[in-house]
Chain A
Amino acid sequence: MLQRRLKLNPERTKDDRSNKDNYFGQDVYVSASNWFIAASLVMALILNFLPLQGDILIFRPDFVAIAIAYWNINHPHKMGMSVAFGMGLLMDAGNTGILGQHALAYCVIVYLTLIFGRRLRLFNSMQQAPQVGLILLIMQTVIVLVAISGGSALPDGYYFLAAVSGTLLWAPGSFLLSMLLKQKSDPDAL
């Protein structure tokens, strides 16, 4: 009832057109199983641990951060802050950084996405990308602040390119995840 009224609202029609054809789909993939979330996080960790060398290291996005942001925007309260904290600890140990550095940064992501999640869900993934990029930038700033408190020098500006590549990856990444979810519970399968 409410949805129909929204659809008739002339101001809303433009937004709704982008959401109309996958409106049913959206309702279906609310049921993301815990196993699927865990699998995606483990996959993101493996992607983060890929042995790379040279210039490509600069552009490597933080896949775990993107996965955490995705789950908390599209399925809030499915993946708590404690999981993000744990993932951060795993990243820190694998990263040989200060223990707690990524843990804090990932908790900040969960907080920001919980706060702004409802607003972000109004947009499609292309429109979400720059806003998620901002969140990733805030996360990187937290990491830099912790590193500086540990006695490191300020990194050069290239460090923040990871947020840019994360922004570029957001739309295809969230498309992929939602595709995988849709396949699991397709309404037309009946």
Chain B
Amino acid sequence: METAPQFFRHGPGPFARLFVFALLSCLLIAEDVRFQYFPQLRQAIGVIIFPLQKIAYIPANIYDQVEEFIASFNLLEENIKLRQIYLENREQLLKLASLEAENIHLRNLLGAVQHIETKTRTKAVLAKILYTPRDPFNHKIILNKGSQHHIQLGQAVIDDKGIVGQVTQLYPWSSEVTLLTDKDHSVPVQVVRNSLRSVVSGTGKNDQLELRYLSVNTDIQRGDQLVTSGIGGVYPPGIPVATVLRIERDPTGDFAQIISTPVAGVDRNRQVLILSLIQPDSDDASEALEIESGKN
């Protein structure tokens, strides 16, 4: 079929087209912010852009390899250093085991109710940060492990010092982690000093977390350590989250304003650990903390 040559080839005018597409994107925005009926849509787009992200990661990969090559010259020293750290950690682990045994024993003596079974056995998978999105509005990172590597939604992500965030979106070969500092992210925590329970929330700013709804006379001090309480079952208990930075107690208000900073290098690492929680299989193993390092 031949079509007649078009002298003035244009469909609807620019404004009409903008109107249609603006309407379409407004619908999408409303769908994404409020309802989220189609999580598959985002996943499908994620699969499309994955090869592009892989290509974009090539320069960083080369940089990593060069760095590793240079680092390999002083492997011997590093090995000795790591061995020392390992021995120190080992000693602490031994202490922990004996303390745990003592704790169980004392608990039995007291006839106390056994701890509510929390998911405490963890398995860790090492993941690399693919890239940080450019948006200043949400604090998220993309990791190179996805549902094909048996990562699941809601898994906790940590580094060597503490909690980094939580897996919130899964793609086949990558996953999206919402950082502690994201405005929509909260972690149930406990103060180490007096085991006060609270929830720490992100503020959308780098290196700032907020303890909301604690009354003015709450017993909390500058420098207090906050660790996960394990309530809610997302995070295993006892992992460091933040340190209290400053407290403003305004006697006219109901709540104290408590600002804390995350312990982990939330915006600094290249590698992180994804913790998968395993239900304890038997009662007596319920309190054993076991960290197996998974394959890379």
Q: Do A99 and B32 touch (CB < 8 A)?
A: yes
Q: Which residue of A lies closest to B30 (CB)?
A: A100
Interface status of A107 (Cβ within 8 A of chain B): yes
What per-residue 1/0 map shows which CB atoms of B181-199 lie under 8 Å from chain A? 0011000000000000000
Residue among A53, A80, A82, A99 with the highest chain B CB neighbour number at 10 A: A99
Asked if B57 lies at the interface with its beta carbon under 8 angstroms from chain A, I say yes
Chain A interface bracket (under 10, 10 to 19, 20 to 34, 35 or more): 35 or more
Contacts of B17 in A (CB 8 A): 80-81, 107, 110-111
A residues 92-121 with Cβ under 8 Å of B? 92-101, 103-104, 107-108, 110-111, 114-115
Contact at A97–B131, with CB atoms within 8 Å? no
| Interface flag for A49 (CB, 8 Å) | yes
| Stretch from B43-51, B118-126, B235-243 at the A interface | B43-51
Q: Say yes or no for B233: interface residue by CB 8 A criterion.
A: no
CB distance from B162 to the nearest CB of A (A): 19
Give the number of chain B interface residues (Cβ < 8 Å).
49
Q: Which of B66-74, B76-84, B137-145 contacts A (4 or more CB under 8 A)?
A: B137-145
Query: How far apart are B259's CB and chain A's nearest CB, in angstroms?
Result: 15
Q: Of B27, B29, B267, which contacts A149 at CB under 8 A?
A: B29
Partner of B140, one of A50, A80, A96: A96
A contact residues vs B (CB 8 Å cutoff):
42, 45-53, 57, 60, 62, 77, 80-82, 84-85, 88-90, 92-101, 103-104, 107-108, 110-111, 114-115, 146-147, 149-153, 155-156, 159
- Inter-chain pairs besides A104-B26, A107-B22, 20 sampled, C-beta below 8 Å: A47-B56, A49-B49, A49-B53, A50-B56, A53-B267, A77-B9, A85-B24, A88-B25, A90-B45, A93-B48, A95-B135, A96-B176, A97-B133, A98-B32, A99-B32, A108-B18, A110-B17, A147-B137, A149-B33, A152-B183
